[in-house]
Amino acid sequence: MASLDNTGWSVPGLLVALLLGVLPVNGLEVSTGKVSSIEAMNGSTVLLPCTYSSCIGIKNLYFNWQFNDNGTMVKFCDGVIPSEGVEPRVKVEHERVEFVGSSKTNNISILLWNITFEDDGEYICFAKNPKEKGRNHSAIFTLKVVNQMKEDDNTLTVIIVSVLGGVIGLVIIVMVIKALVVHFLLKDDEKNKECLVNASGNDNTENGLTGAKADNKGTPKL
C-alpha cells in the first residue's frame, strides 16, 4: 500500500505530480495589501484592509480580526463564508468596529471608528479554509496613532526643481543670444555685400562717362 503524506498525496502520486507540474500551489492566503502599515490622526476612522485568495476555492472559510494588546490578543470580529460569492455571517465584538468586506471581492476588511492612542499597534487578519484540510494563513497590519500628520519635507524636491529650472532658463538665454548674434552677423554681412556691389557699379559708371566725354570731343579748330 502506497504511503500518504500529510497533504493526502501518495508518494508515487506526489512524484508524478511534481514531474507533470500539476501539484496544487498557492493555497489559502490572506493579505493586507502592498502597504502593511498606516499613520492616522487621533479621533479619525481608519480602514484595516484584508483580502483572501485560494486556488482551489473555499468552503466554510473562517476568518477573524484580532488586536495585539501588549501580548494579549483581543478579538474584534469573526465570521464564516459558506462558499464562493456567499456573504459571510459576521459577529462583531467591538463597539467601534464595522465589517465592510464582501465575499464577492474576497474582502474581509473592517473599519475602526474614532481611534485613540490605545488603538496604536498590530492588527492580525486570520483565515482558515476547511476545504484545504484546515489550511490557515494570517497577515499583520500596523496602525500608528498620532496627534497630527507629519508634513512631507519637500526641500530636496524644491532644490532639484529650482536647479533644473535655472539650467533650462540659462540654456534658453544662451540660445536667444546666439540667435541674435547670428542675426546681426548675417545682417552686417548683407550690408557689406551691398556696399561692395554699389561700389563696383559706381566705378564702372564713372569709367564709362569719362570715355564718352573723350570720344565726343571734336578736333579743335585752328
C-alpha cell at position 187: 545682417
Question: Cβ contacts of residue 54 below 8 Å, gap of 6+?
Answer: 26, 27, 28, 29, 129, 131, 132
Q: Given this model, what pLDDT does residue 185 score? A: 78
- Identify the pLDDT of residue 7: 46
Residue 193: predicted pLDDT: 67
| 3 state DSSP class of 85 | coil
pLDDT tens for 98-116 read 999 999 999 999 999 999 9
Residue numbers in the chain where pLDDT is lower than 70: 1-26, 149-158, 191-222
pLDDT tens-digit profile of 139-149? Answer: 999 999 999 86
- Give the model's pLDDT for residue 70: 92
pLDDT value, residue 132: 95
pTM for this predicted structure: 0.59
The alpha-helical segments, DSSP class H, found in the chain are: 11-20, 155-216
What's the length of the chain? 222
CATH architecture of 24-146: Sandwich (2.60)
* Closest by CA position to 129, among listed 50, 25, 51, 52: 52
Predicted local distance difference test score (pLDDT) of residue 128: 97
So where are the chain's domains?
24-146, 155-202
Q: What is the pLDDT of residue 20?
A: 41
